[in-house]
Amino acid sequence: MASHQFAERLRSLVEEDTQGATTVRIPRGGHVFNCGDLDDDVYLIEAGQVKTVTYSRDGKQCLLSIYAPGDVFGELCQASCGRLETAAAMRPTTLRRIQSDRFRAALADHDLLEAFLAYLALRVSEQQQIITNLVTMDSERRLAAVLLALADKIGKRHSNGTRIEQRITQEELSDMVGTTRSRVGYFLKRFVEAGLVSRHPGAFLVVDEGGLSDYLETASL
């Protein structure tokens, strides 16, 4: 996958150039950077989980992405003057902070540049899909699509389904879906009753990816 190829190539370069990156530890709820900050460093997650959010003029929050170990974030600041989003740790998190000048110099490596371009193309495709879902799907189907995306990104596959072990609150899910927390709770209950998701010890949710995919295809007919 393009995101993993880029992250692995970046990790190898960081290990070769120990002076170009520093280790940063962020407590749960702590901010890595805030919207409007002028730094443009890039981050690689060693452990933990980070979310990026943006805010409307009236203060309403929109959750943009969730990042897990091995993911890279903060790279979009290379194309803008200042941060366009806020990044916060969802649990105690360890990061490798890569100085922007070192990152740009590293892009002279042909393999990293190719991986970075493929990664950016994937990010654009993902954002286009999110916009399409907001326009064409009702909120219940958007939740199903979000759960599938989370299962693919941070889930672990087991015989009984894909386990999302990291806890994600209903409020965070509602920010991703664009609906209320109570509606997310109601939809999750419906998914549980239909056998599309389940709850097991040690996991936030266990997702039946095939069942949710079939639900989305059927609902779109």
CA distances 94 to 28, 70, 89, 156, 196, Å, are: 11, 11, 9, 21, 33
Predicted confidence (pLDDT) per residue in 88-123, tens digit: 999 899 999 998 888 888 888 878 888 888 888 888
The structure's pTM equals 0.80
Domain-terminating residue out of 103, 124, 145: 124
User: Does a structural domain hold residue 173?
Assistant: yes
- Look at residue 202 and tell me if it is in a domain: yes
User: Could you read off the pLDDT of 184-214 as tens digits, one per residue?
Assistant: 999 999 999 999 999 888 778 999 999 999 9
Query: Quick one: 116 and 147 in the same domain?
Result: no
CATH number at residue 30: 2.60.120.10
User: Distance (Å, rounded) from C-alpha 221 to C-alpha 206?
Assistant: 26
Q: Is 142 found in the same domain as 34?
A: no
The pLDDT, as a whole number, for residue 112 is: 85
**Among the three residues 69, 97, 124, which one is the final residue of a domain in this structure?**
124
CATH of the domain at 210: 1.10.10.10
Domain shared by 38 and 114, yes or no:
yes
The domain boundary, picked from 124, 154, 186, lies at 124
Question: What's the rounded mean pLDDT across residues 29-57?
Answer: 90
Q: For the segment 54-96, what is each residue's pLDDT rounded down to a tens digit?
A: 887 777 778 888 898 888 999 887 777 789 899 999 989 999 9
Looking at the 3D structure of the chain, how many domains does it have?
Answer: 2
Three-class SS of the chain? CHHHHHHHHHHHHHHHCHHHEEEEEECCCCEEECCCCCCCCEEEEEEEEEEEEEECCCCCEEEEEEECCCCEECHHHHHCCCCCCEEEEEEEEEEEEECHHHHHHHCCCHHHHHHHHHHHHHHHHHHHHHHHHHHHCCHHHHHHHHHHHHHHHHCEEECCEEEECCCCCHHHHHHHHCCCHHHHHHHHHHHHHCCCEECCCCCCEEECHHHHHHHHHHHCC
* Predicted pLDDT of residue 104: 86
Residues 58 and 143 in one domain: no
Mean pLDDT value across residues 172-179: 88
The residue range of the domain holding 60 is 2-124
**In terms of domains, do 177 and 105 share one?**
no
